[in-house]
A and B are shown apart, each in its own frame.
Chain A
Amino acid sequence: MEKALAIDTRDLTKSYGRSRGICNLDLQVEAGDFFGFIGPNGAGKSTTIRTLLGLIRPTSGSASVLGYDIVSGKEKILLHTGYLPSEIHFYPHMKVRDAIRYSADLRKADCGKRAEELCRRLDLDPGRKVDDLSLGNRKKVGIICAVQHHPDMLILDEPTSGLDPLMQKEFFTILQEENQRGATIFFSSHILSEVQAYCRSAAFIKDGKILLADKVGNLEQTGTRKVCVIGEVEREKLAALPGVTFTDSAGAAADAGTNAAGTTATGTEANTYGAASSDTHDGSAGGCTSALSFLYNGDIQRLLSALAQEKIKDITITEPSLEEIFMHYYEN
């Protein structure tokens, strides 16, 4: 049986005159999921979130959150949702405890004990004035306001910015507890490692459109492999293979018509890549130390045949990280 959807958008569009917002967005998030919403700055993450919460009205299309329509059921959505904006501001002259209590009062909820516990866990002094707080501490107040009433849905817009690593860890522990309790977690981020570490599902958004949405495990196992080669390799031969996308900077430079790595042993236009080369650099998240790395999404036998004709010293074939998949999608 299919799981109920906590978020369901159909052709959701928000346009701001000439500037882009979101365009025919179709996004489904299952109830109880831990969902990462990934995209670069200006991709439409915040616009999507603000539309779902009724802060802005959609231009066209429809959407529901927790089964309630975002226009007609806005208050019901907000009653069962906790929201943390990317930049949170409170009323001047309020103390931390006043801001937290005001949030609870607006929900007609008594969350005193829970708020106290959260303040302790996040190392936040409730007696301080919100005006004097750093971005990270303001964020902590926002987190408490968002989770203190045990919502069914948590929507968080770039929640970890400003938090130190220890607090980030505690924050995700709180989110995991809420998720285990049954709450759906939906958070936007451009920090892929945290999405990879905590989320079960993720979606990529670019230019207001969803590029890809799936389980994180499936995204990591798309069949695409990250290949790192050490040795003398004719880059053009590899480039001619269908399914090859170079991810290293030397490759990118060569793509731009620049011979980045110097003369080759074969005397052709091929480049030489090796651990001893001065052009050698660390591969990114895959941990490969070779200069030549690329994503391959094709027949592996064909790749091995092509590589067999080159003088390679070493080869590693690994699953790409989410970050590499992300870069692959956005650069293309």
Chain B
Amino acid sequence: MEKSVRKYWPVFLLPTLIAFTIGFLWPFIWGIYLSFCKFNTVNKVKFVGISNYTRVFSDSTFVHAFWFTALFTLASTVLINVIAFLIAVLLTRGIKGTNIFRTIFFMPNLIGGIVLGYIWQILLDGLLSNWGLPLLALNEKAGFTGLLILMGWQQIGYMMIIYIAGLQNVSPDLIEAAEIDGATPWQILTKIKIPMVMPSVTICTFLTLTNSFKLFDQNLSLTGGEPAKKSQMLALNIYDTFYARSGGQWKGIGQAKAVVFFLLVVVIALIQLRATRTKEVQA
């Protein structure tokens, strides 16, 4: 069978391969090459070696964006996963209205990042002005907290769904056996439920980590990086370097930043997967 399928590769493989080359492979390789070049349009490209990379690390906005992103990613990953898991545990007790609650918690997930940002901008600016505090555009701390709330609002429902699926897969026999042995609800939670849902924890931390680290739309619409690029995250900083700064050298530096950003994402993903995978158990 393999042989006869193989002959049909132009039908099965080729369309995706061509699109994949146009949409990903070629831009990726070209992007790596351009990160070593000075260019303004793609017709005037001059090879400059690693000088773009040295400029990246001496750019204070990038360093600030890095720390802002790192802190945000850490805070949002912890916040989202703890709350989502808590809700999932409470919603698997069979309380009245579980389905409605689940529906509502998941809903914000379907609204796009740009729209979400503006919804929260209106709400948070309203709160800030009623409390007599500076608005989002002038308030770095509020920008950070606002992004955190927005991200939580959007992602908690999604992660909750995954945790609920994980919890429902824990065999009732196991819990019953523990109850007969006299385990308290707290012991059942920490000694059985949490170890048994570790695969879900792996997935959810992976998703929240990468989503938060790569956040762009919400950042653009909620704060736009204001005040003075102080609430810029890495993705927005790269975009800003490419399209908002004038001067011939910035596009090359932007591309170099993008390569650094890509490497950071890969490193984080690998570390995280290794760290949580080792904690998974078999029933």
Do A and B interact? Answer: no
